[in-house]
Amino acid sequence: MSEDKINATENIKNEKKKRIFSGIQPSGTLTLGNYIGAIRNFLLLSGEYDCLYCVVDEHAITVRQVPAELRRHTYETLAIYIACGLSPEENILFIQSHVHQHAELSWILGCYAMFGELSRMTQFKDKSANNSENINAGLFTYPVLMAADILLYQADLVPVGIDQKQHLELARTIAERFNGIYGDTFVVPDGYIPEVGMKIMSLAEPTKKMSKSDTNVNGYVAILDEPDTIIRKFRRAVTDSDSTVRYAEGKDGINNLMSIYSSFTGKSYNEIESEFEGKGYGDFKTAVGETVSDGLKPIRTEFNRLMTDKSYLESVMKQGAEQAGRLAERTLKKVQKKLGFVLLK
């Protein structure tokens, strides 16, 4: 091979994009926290990386779901992905249960995850406390399926919230353990946690994460909430007895609102403090509510349009499942071969 061809080949290798994988459960209406903490970051990464974004319906059933609602939320989550700007032409968008290799690799990796490691997962402890009537094995092995989701696609980077960081560490541990036994098999993924808006807190209890499962509807803002509802929820947001808009320890409510406002406006905390100098919390809460409402309006409009076209959404599901399936099968076959499974041709 000539020197020019060698250099050209090396350039192609160097230009190869790294791969991103992430997913969101279709277990309810997605919130502002999902948008700021996850989907909006997906958008920032989609041009720079090869991206796979999944609707993780298999994860959702660790808690009992109403079948019709799970089906509807699955369509809605995919529609929100697209409405937020994640193009099916530029990203692989798919439903987890449409790619059977997730469940198959999960079983294999479960044999390389230690009981003690799973027992230490804080989310299992928290969810068990909240679901004492249904502490199922799937809830316990949830992190193994998450590891399979990631490792199946040889993901280099995984956008995760702080609450999922422990699960990502387990995925890394399993990958390194498997690689140590069988040789280079899995890419060991790194996490991506944004500086601003990485964890959006409840408007009603600002020491708790904003959650779509919150029984207090004033605690969260749904991406699809109407403008008046959004503004009303922000006006009711819990703050402190001070009246100065400033980011400081002990001001959890105001800190959360400043983080949200910064995420939508791009302004630093110092700039926000200057903007609202001499103004009270009421003015600030209204401004945050109006800014968020305006920012989410195009998403709501496009979402409503997409939900009238189920055939289009199903075509995206089919295309995504085929694309993801090809990548997944490549990894699964590699793993099965290393384990000594007999592969049919």
Burial letters 247-265, b for 16+ CB under 10 A, else e: beeebbbbbbbbbbbbbbe
Block residue for tokens 């990203």? 91
Active site residue 127: yes
Active site residue 318: no
What is the rounded CA–CA span in Å between residue 229 and residue 54? Answer: 29
Q: How many CA atoms lie within 13 A of 58 on its CB side?
A: 22
Cβ–Cβ < 8 Å for 44, 36: no
Encoding tokens for residue 131?
């679901």
What is the rounded CA–CA span in Å between residue 141 and residue 127? Answer: 13
Catalytic residue among 13, 18, 208, 209: 209
What is the rounded CA–CA span in Å between residue 73 and residue 241? Answer: 39
Catalytic residue among 13, 17, 127, 337: 127
Strand 190-192 with 157-159, pairing: parallel
Catalytic residue among 13, 16, 212, 279: 212
Active site residue 334: no
Active site residues: 127, 209, 212
